[in-house]
């Protein structure tokens, strides 16, 4: 509580300093936020190590799998580096991609928000308060997402989203993902329930890190 009061008092005096990679913002400064955009991964890492920022933010909006993998790797480097490991790190995703969330959590990312590609990221970041609340923790999202969602790459930047509870024979479209598969409503899905009856263990479900 004391830490939150200190942050709120600082917020009223100074704008939050945020280092951003992976998205363009229409305006980099306002009364509440000052965003520094890094042009490359190398530049981002250098500034994250040598400069003081209130928040490190990375947007994983790219559909190119290799570029996305590089950003995940960067997150791991930031969490392992002694100069950046304690700095708040936020991943910004265009959607609730189950596999990507797992990978980010594995390399040490704890907080994530979603934002539409092309939206004003500055406005999204300006609404956040530090320290980041549990509402933005990766495990909070993963608990809401069906654990049987799978992904099948078609090429370097496209993939199919499949229902593993239906033996990967059902392609999941945006509407079903948003209304059922990527929200708590997946618990009512007939395919999920059938799979749970076949495998009534916790195998495949999200487990909170120890």
User: Could you tell me where the DSSP H helices lie in the chain?
Assistant: 2-13, 41-50, 65-80, 98-106, 121-126, 138-144, 174-176, 190-198
Which tokens in the block code for residue 33?
């936020």
Residues 193, 198, 203, 208, Cα dihedral to 10°: 30
Query: Do 82 and 9 reside in the same domain of the chain?
Result: yes
Confidence of residue 208 (pLDDT cuts 50, 70, 90): very low
Half-sphere CA count of 74, side-chain side, radius 13 A: 26
Q: What is the pLDDT of residues 73-89, one digit of tens each?
A: 999 999 999 999 999 99
Query: Do 71 and 167 reside in the same domain of the chain?
Result: no
Mean per-residue pLDDT over the chain, rounded: 87
Query: Do 14 and 94 reside in the same domain of the chain?
Result: yes
Query: Do 151 and 49 reside in the same domain of the chain?
Result: no
Does residue 131 have a cis bond before it (omega within 30 degrees)? Answer: yes
Q: Is the pTM of this model over 0.85?
A: no
Average pLDDT over residues 162-171: 95
Query: Do 149 and 183 reside in the same domain of the chain?
Result: yes
Q: Which domain holds residue 117?
A: 2-142
Query: Do 75 and 152 reside in the same domain of the chain?
Result: no
Query: Do 80 and 117 reside in the same domain of the chain?
Result: yes
Give the residue among 65, 16, 77, 17 at the shortest CA–CA distance from 41: 77
Which tokens in the block code for residue 136?
């933005």
Query: Do 90 and 156 reside in the same domain of the chain?
Result: no
CATH code where residue 36 lies: 3.40.50.2300
Asked if the structure places residue 119 within a domain, the reply is yes
Average pLDDT over residues 144-160: 94
Confidence of residue 112 (pLDDT cuts 50, 70, 90): very high
In the predicted model, is pLDDT for residue 196 greater than 60?
yes
What total of structural domains would you count in the chain? 2
Query: Do 79 and 136 reside in the same domain of the chain?
Result: yes
Give, in degrees to the nearest 5, the angle at Cα 71 between 100 and 145: 15
- Is residue 35 within 8 Å of residue 54, measured between CB atoms? no
């Amino acid at each position: 509580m004391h830490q939150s009061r200190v942050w709120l008092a600082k917020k009223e005096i100074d704008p939050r300093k945020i280092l951003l990679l992976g998205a363009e913002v229409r305006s980099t400064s306002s009364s509440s936020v000052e965003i520094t955009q890094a042009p490359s991964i190398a530049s981002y890492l250098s500034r994250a190590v040598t400069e003081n920022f209130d928040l490190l933010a990375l947007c994983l909006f790219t559909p190119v799998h290799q570029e996305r993998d590089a950003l995940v790797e960067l997150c791991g480097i930031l969490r392992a580096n002694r100069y950046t490991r304690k700095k708040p790190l936020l991943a910004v995703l265009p959607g609730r991609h189950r596999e990507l969330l797992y990978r980010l959590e594995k390399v040490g990312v704890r907080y994530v928000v979603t934002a539409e590609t092309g939206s004003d990221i500055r406005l999204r970041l300006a609404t956040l308060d530090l320290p980041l609340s549990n509402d933005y923790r990766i495990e909070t999202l993963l608990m809401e997402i069906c654990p049987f969602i799978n992904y099948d790459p078609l090429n370097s930047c496209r993939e199919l989203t499949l229902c593993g509870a239906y033996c990967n024979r059902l392609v999941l479209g945006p509407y079903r993902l948003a209304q059922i598969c990527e929200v708590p409503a997946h618990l009512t899905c007939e395919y999920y329930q059938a799979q749970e009856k076949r495998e009534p263990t916790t195998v495949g479900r999200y487990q909170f890190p120890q």
